[in-house]
Structure 1
Amino acid sequence: MDPRLWHKVAALSGVAALGLGTYGAHGFKPKDPTYTKVWQTASLYHLVHTAAILAAPITKHPNIFGGLLTTGIIAFSGTCYAVALLEDRKYSTLAPFGGFAFIAAWASLLF
């Protein structure tokens, strides 16, 4: 697989992160305002890890690093977005797996 593919993944994820972040800042009006913080957390982790995906091509194992970050974004941020949007924490079951994927991605740089 061409390591530069991760730049395209980062581009798509960046578009989604900015769009969802903008919606969270200007259009998201939950009944329970505590879900605004959940949305903000999802947006922050989404954007930060999207930026990190840009470095995937220069790592020793770009597909492992990029794949774990992408998995983390989907599982952690995606779950948080769903929890906030639906205002129901029962949808949070995948978030810990996403957090673990983020940790594993960063740890993979050690090897």
Structure 2
Amino acid sequence: MKIFLLLGSVFGGLSVAAGAFGAHALKGKLEPRLFEVFETAAQYQMYHALALLAVAWLVGETQSQAATVAGWSFVAGILLFSGSLYTMAFTGIRMLGAITPIGGVAFIVGWICLLLVAINK
């Protein structure tokens, strides 16, 4: 439970920092498409940071293995999805986009696991 609360808090704070950095330091410096990619990374990071906070609560309440899998899936998704998009925005290396869907699948797995927790609760 504590690890997901910690990671959700860290990822959430970093997402706010990334959003502010993007709005104040990157806008106009990145080509518009890459700026959009950066914003998408920050948004999905925040969505799933908040989901990690919910997972932390669920793990504490249910001790559910599915909730734990959801948490680690969200962590993997943030690292792979948002991480690849941040890297692509800064480097312009479009090949990194091949990693992004793996992170998206991790997000989907996490949400399916939360559905299983809800069904079994």
**Mean alpha-carbon deviation: is it higher for 76-85 or for 87-96?**
87-96
Quote the offset at 1:88 in angstroms. 2.2
Tell me which structure has the larger Cα radius of gyration. Answer: 2
How many positions carry a matched residue from both structures? 108
Quote the offset at 1:80 in angstroms. 0.5
Q: Partner of 1:78 in structure 2?
A: 83
Secondary structure at 1:39 match in 2: helix
Quote the offset at 1:104 in angstroms. 0.4
Q: Partner of 1:6 in structure 2?
A: 4
Q: Partner of 1:110 in structure 2?
A: 115
Q: Partner of 1:51 in structure 2?
A: 50
Q: Are 2:20 and 1:22 equivalent residues in the alignment?
A: yes
In structure 2, the gaps of 5 or more residues are 117-121
What's the CA shift string for 1:50-107, capped at 9, x where partnerless?
Answer: 0110011315333211100010000000000111111221122210100000000000
Q: Partner of 2:36 in structure 1?
A: 37
Q: Distance in 1 between matches of 2:102 and 2:84?
A: 10
Of 67, 70, 78, the residue aligned with 1:65 is: 70
Q: Per residue, is there more helix in 1 or in 2?
A: 2
**Mean alpha-carbon deviation: is it higher for 86-95 or for 99-108?**
86-95
Q: Distance in 2 between matches of 1:84 and 1:95?
A: 12
Q: Distance in 2 between matches of 1:87 and 1:23?
A: 18
Q: Provide TM-score, normalisation by structure 2.
A: 0.83
Of 89, 92, 117, the residue aligned with 1:87 is: 92
Quote the offset at 1:23 in angstroms. 1.0
Identity value in percent: 31
In structure 1, the gaps of 5 or more residues are none
Query: For the aligned residues, what is the CA RMSD?
Result: 1.2
